[in-house]
Structure 1
Amino acid sequence: MTKVTAQLSVSLDGFYAGPRHTGDGDWMESAESAGFFRVTRWVTDAMAWRERQGFTGGEQDVNSDVVAESFGAAGAYVMGRRMADGGEVPWGEEPPFRAPVFVVTNRPRPTLVRGGGTSFTYVTAGVASAVEQARAAAGGRDVAVAGGGSLVRQVLKAGLLDELELHVVPVVLGTGLRLFDADLELGEKEAVELEPTRVIHTPQVTHIRYVVRGRAPLVLDDRGSGGGPTTTTG
């Protein structure tokens, strides 16, 4: 059964990149880039990631196994336009996805076909349409929301996300692009509930997989109301 999944590397304080780069300078030299590469260092060190990019070297370890697993599970991808534009040149003629990619955008563009089975279809009808098209193209495998963080929030907000995996890196960035913020538009007494189903710890990163249970009201218990046992100190 096809699942819609997402995964992101985040700092302990919840950032997936440094402060947003809005200038005309080189993104690679920006604070956004510095934060992003700090929390994804475990990925770029992994042999499975390097092989997928056409590079040599890397570590064959648990982190590499996690990367290989994620590539193997995805039958199609959904991606934001900013990520697609930024990666178009660096990914080259054979991008690492090797599957159809559906790009959420408000700027039409013909489908871009690349080598290795990767194609980029630009969807202007919204995130739900992109997910639906990706499901149809996934061949029973997962639809992976590749990001960025804003797109992951859109999919979560729309109730379309089945599974979320966070790769929590032991670093505090202090500021930057936060994965979860107010544009989820949760009510004052509402939350998105998740259930952890797997935790893998390594020295570089802790991988935590969640099933998304969806929006639910926050229900207060009767703690302190006098209806149950009390504890006194003195």
Structure 2
Amino acid sequence: MNRLEAEFNIIRLIPDSIRYYPASVKIPRILKQDNFIKHTKMDITLGKSRVGGPIIDLPNGVEYPPDLYFACQLDLAQVSPFDTTGLLPKSGQLLFFTDLDKGKVIYSDSANIDLIRTIKEHEEPFYDGRIIANCSNESETLAERFDPSLIEDEGDTGWDYFTGSEKSKVFGIYTHCQLEQEEIEEITFSSKIILLQIGEDFTEEGVLSVLIEREDLQNLVFDHCQFAWGQS
């Protein structure tokens, strides 16, 4: 198999244009734009897929993990119809919490109507939020991560460390701007699966990746997920 041409199907996560931030946080004047508003002005349906921000919908009986910050909530009823692998649960919620060094994934098959709205305002990673407006099916290859314009010397391959950072997704090719091609390939062609990548279309700078073993995902075991933050 030609690894460079191998095609990976992904679920692309597409951000809404509105960004919302904790009402208690003082925002610099330069950021005060029409699409950047206080969370108190947001009307978010229970369980709606989103990235970051102070508004979280927790399953009944589940507490907000201490020392971590809310990074993402996936409504699987919205996301799973785009899953060509059949690996994702068809319903329920996946919630992701992190401090950028470590993290926690929580899965619950609770109905959205039974979730408990929780507000946690802070100024740490993922303090502001955006709704996941839509999902789409896309594909990607490692060949797309080479840029001939980057070749300056005879030994250069044109490997672009940043290609892939611009998108948020489930599945596909691993992305980390500090890793070499060989390291990216080793992870991508291993038994690990990208359960979530939050890219710069949401963060504007930096990529959060969450890996899970294929067998764990099949068995709905989310206790051993690996979190990694990549930023230049």
For the aligned pair, the TM-score class normalised by the smaller chain equals under 0.3
TM-score by length of 1: 0.22
Larger radius of gyration: 1
TM-score by length of 2: 0.22
Greater fraction of residues in helix: 1
